[in-house]
Amino acid sequence: MRVRVPATSANLGPGFDALGLALELYDDVVVRVTDEAGLTVDVAGMGAASVPRNARHLVVKSMRATFKVLGGAPAGLEVVCANRIPHGRGLGSSAAAIVAGVVAARGLVVGGSERMDDAAVLAHAAELEGHPDNVAACVLGGLTIAWNDESGARAIKVPVSDALAPVAFVPGSSSSTKAARKLLPESVPHADAVANAARAALLVEALRSHPDDLLGATEDRLHQPYRAEAMPKTAALVAELRDAGIPAVVSGAGPSVLALTTTDSRDRAVTFARRGWSALPLDVDRKGAHLAPL
């Protein structure tokens, strides 16, 4: 079977660890069950020179973790990955790999879809990833609001304006999400928390039906200022775009930048691409992870 999973951008400015947006840039994973015991992993595209081709591959690890939940692990597996999502750039490559593995394993187990619905896929994938924002958007598509409660990770999908036409600015260098999290303080001023709560609420509505308010809605005080020193080129590009009136945020933990442009402003935003960066016009993916024809 073949699983297709979208790239995602988390946080979107003030929605730290809660908001995610799926984008039309996809990884494809083809899995074949074999009668003979063993594992074969083949990778093409992004990360092909660096990812492991054994049981440590993230898709394989996620599949095996899902088989433990559902049972029915096959004797052997052939896994072929066609990667288009850049690795270590803040576009959800790890979430995509995890979701692909979970969805593939569910599809290979008899009755898997009945025993693990999409809500359970999300919760299981979020447990493997460690946080639900990218995973939620990858599973459900579109704009998602994710949170954790006593039952695990949960999310809802929110309608997105048809006028939204984002641009991802992707640098040649990567960054570590774990390292970026270490830059965050243990506490923030109450005024900053209040400001972010208001902006996050406004952002959901702006993305849904008021794109003219996106510049103000994407202001952030909780994470981007604290990470700016470690990613000066990213911070500079965000500032340059915002000074020009273009709603721009750090994509996830960076170093990519996401401009939440519309069909009317996208072409202008693309002109801000600088040397060493790629400007990728990426429409919103509204389908999420799914099985695709071979």
Instruction: Give the pTM.
Output: 0.95
Q: Decide if domain 167-281 falls under CATH 3.30.70.890.
A: yes
2-10 and 277-281 beta bridge pairing: unpaired
Instruction: Give the pair of three-digit tokens for residue 92.
Output: 């959800």
Distance (Å, whole) CA 238 – CA 258: 8
Give the residue ranges of DSSP H helices in the chain. 58-70, 93-108, 112-115, 118-129, 133-140, 177-181, 190-209, 214-217, 224-227, 232-243, 266-270
95-145 pLDDT, tens digit each: 999 999 999 999 999 999 999 999 999 999 999 999 999 999 999 999 999
Asked whether the beta carbons of 105 and 63 are under 8 A apart, the reply is yes
Paired strand residues for 259: 167, 248
- 148-185 per-residue burial string, b: 16 or more CB within 10 A, e: under 16: eeeeebbbebbebbeebbbbbbbbeebbebeebeeeee
Question: Domain coordinates of the chain in residue numbers?
Answer: 2-158+285-292, 167-281
Distance (Å, whole) CA 138 – CA 122: 9
Q: Is 261 helix (H, G, I), strand (E, B) or coil?
A: coil
Instruction: Give the pair of three-digit tokens for residue 156.
Output: 């809802």
Of 223, 280, 284, residue with least CA distance to 8: 284
DSSP annotation string for 137-169: HHHH-SEEEEEEETTEEEEEEE---TTB--EEE
Q: 2-158+285-292: which CATH topology?
A: Ribosomal Protein S5; domain 2 (3.30.230)
Within 8 A by CB and 6+ apart from 261, the residues are: 164, 165, 166, 167, 246, 247, 268, 269
Of 214, 254, 220, residue with least CA distance to 88: 254
167-196 pLDDT, tens digit each: 999 999 887 777 777 889 999 999 999 999
Asked whether the beta carbons of 112 and 101 are under 8 A apart, the reply is no
Distance (Å, whole) CA 217 – CA 100: 32
One digit per residue, the tens of pLDDT, for the chain of length 294 reads: 999 999 999 999 999 999 999 999 999 999 999 989 999 999 999 999 999 999 999 999 999 999 999 988 898 999 999 999 999 999 999 999 999 999 999 999 999 999 999 999 999 999 999 999 999 999 999 999 999 999 899 999 999 999 999 999 999 988 777 777 788 999 999 999 999 999 999 999 999 999 999 999 999 999 999 999 999 999 999 999 999 999 999 999 999 999 999 999 999 999 999 999 999 999 999 999 999 888
